[in-house]
């Protein structure tokens, strides 16, 4: 599954979408809506929508460090600008909503999802494999023009240690990112609740 997001820094322009297989944001939902206030920076409203900036918006708000939108950003604004209702249905998002405590206790990743095989073209009949541990069914046939030599990160990994929640320490599981967090199917052991785009607007 791939979804389109707008106002992302990875796009050529804030008005153009990027297509991700998943994206992570922090959604803060105040316990007391009467006390919660988010004041948007002056001028942000005009630059995005051509209208006056919203002031003293009460409710939930989003932190997305990969977005051009202000951080924090009121939930209603973030949802409509990042996942506009005008998108074709096949590019609309589903959302797996997970509490902060469950995430901090149960998430583990060894960053293996960031590894990619380095491929290079060889002359006919030549195959070189530097990685002897590569699974047999992933090795090219003799005579192939492509050889996978090494694994490397698709982007510079963070400087801090890979994340491992307290409940996952000593479990022997290297990563549950894709199977228990990113997957949008109700798989056994997955965390949180999957909510479709049509419903998410009214939930927070």
Segment 2-60, tens digit of pLDDT: 789 999 999 998 889 999 888 999 999 887 655 444 444 434 444 444 443 444 345 89
Tokens of 80: 């409509």
Q: State which residues form the domain around 145.
A: 112-153
| 98 band by pLDDT with thresholds 50, 70 and 90 | very high
In a domain, 20, yes or no: yes
Q: Who has greater pLDDT, 136 or 11? A: 11
Same domain, 13 and 75: yes
Same domain, 30 and 88: yes
Helices (H), 93-190: 100-106
Number of domains within the chain: 2
Same domain, 146 and 118: yes
Mean pLDDT of the chain: 75
Q: Residue 110 has what DSSP assignment?
A: -
In a domain, 42, yes or no: yes
In a domain, 56, yes or no: yes
Q: Who has greater pLDDT, 185 or 143? A: 185
Same domain, 50 and 121: no
Same domain, 20 and 69: yes
In a domain, 73, yes or no: yes
**Cis upstream peptide for 72 (omega within 30°):** yes
In a domain, 135, yes or no: yes
Percent of the chain with pLDDT over 70: 70
pTM of the model: 0.67
Same domain, 12 and 87: yes
Q: Which residues contact 111 (CB under 8 A, 6 or more apart)?
A: 153, 157, 162, 175
In a domain, 180, yes or no: no
Q: How far apart are the first and last CA of the chain?
A: 24
Map residue 153 onto helix, strand or coil: strand
Map residue 74 onto helix, strand or coil: strand
In a domain, 199, yes or no: no
Same domain, 73 and 121: no
Strand residues in 52-177 grouped as ranges (E): 61-63, 73-74, 94-97, 115-121, 146-153
Same domain, 87 and 117: no
Q: Which residues of 63-75 are buried (b: 16+ CB within 10 A; e: fewer)?
A: ebebbbbbebbbb
Q: Which residues contact 165 (CB under 8 A, 6 or more apart)?
A: 103, 104, 105, 106, 107, 108
In a domain, 127, yes or no: yes
Give me the pLDDT at residue 115, please.
75
Whether the per-residue pLDDT at 174 is higher than 60: the answer is yes
């Amino acid at each position: 599954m791939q979804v389109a997001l707008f106002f992302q820094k990875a796009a050529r322009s804030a008005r153009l979408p990027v297509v991700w297989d998943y994206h992570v944001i922090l959604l803060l939902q105040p316990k007391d809506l009467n006390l919660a206030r988010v004041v948007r920076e002056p001028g942000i409203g005009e630059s995005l929508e051509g209208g006056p900036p919203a002031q003293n918006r009460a409710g939930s708000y989003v932190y997305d460090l990969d977005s051009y939108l202000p951080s924090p950003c009121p939930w209603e604004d973030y949802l409509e600008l990042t996942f506009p209702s005008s998108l074709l249905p096949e590019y609309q998002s589903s959302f797996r909503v997970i509490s902060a405590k469950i995430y901090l206790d149960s998430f583990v990743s060894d960053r293996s999802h960031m590894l990619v095989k380095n491929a290079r073209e060889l002359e006919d009949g030549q195959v070189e494999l530097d990685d002897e541990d590569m699974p047999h069914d992933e090795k090219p046939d003799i005579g192939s023009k492509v050889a996978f030599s090494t694994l490397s990160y698709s982007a510079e990994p963070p400087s801090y240690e890979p994340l491992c929640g307290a409940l996952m320490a000593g479990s022997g599981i290297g990563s549950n990112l894709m199977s228990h967090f990113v997957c949008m199917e109700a798989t056994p052991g997955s965390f949180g609740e999957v909510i479709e785009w049509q419903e998410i607007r009214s939930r927070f």
